[in-house]
Amino acid sequence: MCGIAGILTNTEIQNNLESLMLRMQTALQHRGPDDQGIYISPNRQVAFAHTRLSIIDLSTAGHQPMSTPDGRYWITFNGEIYNFRQLRRELETKGEQFNSQTDTEVILKLYQHQGAECVKHLRGMFAFAIWDNQEQTCFIARDPLGIKPLYYWQSGSTLVFASELRAILASKLPKIALNPQGLYGYLLSGSVPEPYTLIEDIHCLPAGHWLHWHSDKLIQQQYWQIDFTPEKISLTEAQEKVRKALIDSTEHHFISDVPVGIFLSGGIDSTSVVALARQTQKGNLRTYSIAFAENEWNEGELAQKIAQEFGTDHTEYKVSASLGRELLPQFLASIDQPSIDGFNTFCVSQVAHKDGTKVVLSGLGGDEFFGGYKTFQQVPKMLRWGQQLSKIQPISTSLGRGLALLGKSPRMQRLGDFLQQKPTTAAAYGSFRGIFSHTEARKILHYYFKDSPTQLPFSIWERGIFQDISLAKNLPTLEDEVSLLELSCYMRNQLLRDSDVMSMAWGLELRVPLVDKTLLEAIASIPSTMRLAPGKQLLIQAIPELPNWLLNRPKRGFFFPFQQWIENEWSDYFPAHELGKDINLKLWYRRWSLAILQYWWQQVNA
C-alpha cells in the first residue's frame, strides 16, 4: 500500500522533472513512510514517484519504482494483489524468474506477457502505471470496484497522475479553479461523483478502466463488468455459495507479512468479518472500535461483547466532544476532497496506528452487496409512485415545482426535484440519498461563481450516476439497479474514498473483504429476491456463527453525535453560514458539508 505519482511529457517541463516529482512525492509521504523512490527515463519523457508502506516482502527488494532486469518496463504501484502467489506460480511455469517476493513484480511480469489483458487476472485493490521504454508508452489502471483512487490531469502532450488530488496540485502544473460539475454533484450527494473532481480539468479514472498514453494520445477503456443475470438456485444452495465465497475472500485478504487487525463497529458487517476471520485464521486477532461518552450514541459495550464472543484482543477509543475537537485540525488537513463522512475512519485509524498495526480489515460493502439500506425498499416504491403520477401531466410537474420551492423540509424539496424529472431509478435514488435540493445547490453554486454565474443542465446529476451503469451487463430488477447505484455512487465516491484517504493519513492499509471482485462475481447471479432480501438475510444465513443477541437488535448505522457537537463544543469550527438565511442548515450534515468545503478550498488556495 503506497502513494504513486507520475508525469508523462514531451514539453519543456522535462527540464524540471526532479523538482516536480519531489514536490509530488512529498505530498504523498503520509501514504508510504517506509521507503520512497523516483525514476526518470533516459529520454526524460516519463518520471515516476513512489512512497512505500511495506506490507508484502518487507525487504529492499520491494523498492519502487521497480523495473524488469533489462530496464525496459518500470512500474509504480499502489494496492495489494491477493492472488499474486498463484499468478507467480503460473508465470514460473512459463520460465519467469523473480528477484523478490512482492506482488509488484508479479504485475510487472504479467504485463510483460499479456499487456493490457493483465488487469483481468488481478484480484485485489490497485492503481498502477507501467512505462515501456522500448515502445515509449504508459499503461495506467485502476481496480474493478474502485477501492484505490487514481486522479489525472492532461494538457496537450502532458499527463500528470497521482493517488491523491493534492499530489497533482503540488506539481503546480494545473490551474486551480473549481469545477462546477464536481461541486454540483458534491452538494447533491455529499461526495464528488466520478469521473469529476472539485478541480477543473483534473479527473478521476473510473473504476474498472485503464488509460494508455503514447506521445500526445490518451485512450481510456473499460475492462470489467458485473453480470447480474439470475440463475435458478435454491436458498440452501445460495447460502452455501455465499459462505464459500466469503471464506475465500477472507482468506485472501489476510495475505500479509505484517499482522492484520479488524475495525469492529458492533454492526452485522464488521462482526461478520470477525466471525469469518475466526474460521480462517489461527492465533491472536486484534480489533478496534470507537465509543462515545453520550449513552444514546455509544455502541462500545456492544463491540466489547462481540470481541469477547470471538476472543479478540480488543482496543476501544472513547471520543468525547473535546477530544474530537482536538483532532479536527489534523482531520481537516488530511482531506483530499471534502465529503460528509470520513471522521470516524480517521479516528479509529489513529487507534490502530498507535497500536502498531499496519493493516486492518473493514466490514464496508455488506449493505451494498446484500441489501442492507432502506434504499432497496424505498427507491423502487418512489419510482412506481413517480411513474403513476407522471401519467397525469402537467399536474405532477406543477406539484414538483411547488414542493421544490415551498417544501418545509429538505426531503420534501428533493421530492419536488424528483417529480419534475423523468421517473427513473437514478432520479429516485438521488432524491432519497440527497443532501441539498437542485434549487439549493444552484444557490450555493452562484455563491462560489459570483463573477461567472454557472448554468447547469437539470439532468447532470442523473447522468453522473448513470455514467457507471455500464459496469453491469444485465439489471433484471429495480433492486439490482439500486445495488449498482449504491456500489457506484455512495460506496465508491464516499465510503471507499474516505476510507482510503483517512486510513492512509495514518500510514494504515485498509482492506475490504466484502468488496471483492471474485466475491461479487460469485454472488451476482443469485436472484435479487434472495441476495437483496431485507435485513441482509442471505449474509446472516451464510454466517451461522453470528450470535442471536446481535441479530435481534434493531438495525442502527454507526454515527457520531455530530449534531450536538457542532451546535455546542465545535460551534467555532462550524459558524453560521451566510447562506443560512436562504437555505435550511439546521441538519448537521448540511452545515458540515459547507464548512468542510470552505476549509478545503482555503487549504487548496493557501
Is the same domain home to 306 and 208? no
Please check whether residues 220 and 257 belong to one and the same domain.
Answer: no
| Residue where the block lists cell 503540488 | 170
- Virtual CA dihedral for 332, 353, 369, 336, nearest 10 degrees? 20
End of a domain among 224, 240, 258?
224
Average pLDDT over residues 369-394: 92
- The verdict on residue 471 lying in a domain is no
555-606 pLDDT, tens digit per residue, is 555 568 899 999 999 999 999 999 998 899 999 999 999 999 999 999 999 8
Note whether residue 499 is domain-resident.
Answer: yes
**126 and 67 in one domain?**
yes
Q: Which residues are annotated as a binding site for ATP?
A: 290, 362-363
CATH number for the domain that contains residue 289: 3.40.50.620
Residue 386 inside a domain? The answer is no
pLDDT of the residue at 408:
83
User: Are 598 and 573 within 8 A, CB to CB?
Assistant: no
Q: From 6, 67, 69, 4, select the one nearest 36 (Cα to Cα).
A: 4
Residue 185 lies in a domain: no
User: Is 444 inside a domain boundary?
Assistant: no
Mean pLDDT along residues 386-399: 87
Mean pLDDT of the chain: 92
Share of the chain above pLDDT 90, in %: 76
pLDDT at 554 over 80: no
Question: Do 202 and 272 share a domain, yes or no?
Answer: no
Is this model's pTM higher than 0.85 or not? yes
3-state secondary structure of 35: strand
Which stretches of 59-191 are assigned E, i.e. beta strand? 66-67, 73-81, 124-132, 137-142, 151-155, 158-162
pLDDT tens track for 193-207: 999 999 999 999 999
| pLDDT score recorded for residue 463 | 46
Q: Final residue of a domain: which of 155, 189, 224?
A: 224
What are the strands of the beta sheet with 73-81, ordered from one edge? 66-67, 73-81, 124-132, 137-142, 209-214, 217-222
Q: Is residue 230 part of a domain?
A: no
- Domain housing 23: 2-178+198-224
**Phi-psi domain of 224 (left: phi exceeds 0; alpha: psi -120 through 50; beta: other):** beta
Q: Which residue numbers are catalytic?
A: 2
Q: What is the pLDDT of residues 243-296, one digit of tens each?
A: 999 999 999 999 998 889 999 988 999 999 999 999 999 889 999 999 887 655
Q: How far apart are CA 200 and CA 245, in angstroms?
A: 41
Domain count, the chain: 2
Q: Which band of pLDDT confidence, cut at 50, 70 and 90, is reported for residue 119?
A: very high
Specify whether 272 is located in the same domain as 357. Answer: yes
Question: Is there a single domain that holds both residue 300 and residue 215?
Answer: no
Known binding positions for L-glutamine: 103
Same domain, 218 and 354: no
Pairing of strands 359-361, 509-511: parallel
- Considering the domain architecture, whether residues 213 and 293 belong to the same structural domain is answered as no
pLDDT value at residue 471: 67
pLDDT value for 371? 96
Q: Where on the phi/psi map is residue 513: left (φ > 0), alpha (ψ -120 to 50), or beta?
A: alpha
Cis peptide before 65 (omega within 30 of 0): yes
Domain end call among 190, 224, 258: 224
- Length of the chain counted residue by residue: 606
* CATH code, domain carrying 216: 3.60.20.10
User: Is position 387 within any domain?
Assistant: no
Q: Is the pLDDT of residue 64 over 80?
A: yes
Q: Are residues 208 and 262 in the same domain?
A: no
Residues 156 and 271 both lie in one domain: no
pLDDT at 426 over 80: yes
| Residue whose grid cell is 444465513 | 541
Are 190 and 435 spatial neighbours (Cβ–Cβ below 8 Å)? yes
At residue 265, what are phi and psi to the nearest 5 degrees?
-90, -20
Tell whether 140 and 266 lie within a shared domain: no
The CA-atom distances, in angstroms, between 467 and each of 159, 179, 382, 461 are: 23, 18, 22, 10
- Residues 71 and 104 occupy one common structural domain: yes
Residue 482 domain-assigned (yes or no): no
Partners of 53 in the beta sheet? none
pLDDT value, residue 470: 55
The answer on pLDDT for 35 being more than 50 is yes
The grid coordinates listed for 451 are: 463573477
What single-letter amino acid sits at 310?
Answer: F
| Contacts with 52 (C-beta within 8 Å, 6 or more apart), sequence order | 2, 32, 34, 35, 36, 37, 62, 63, 64
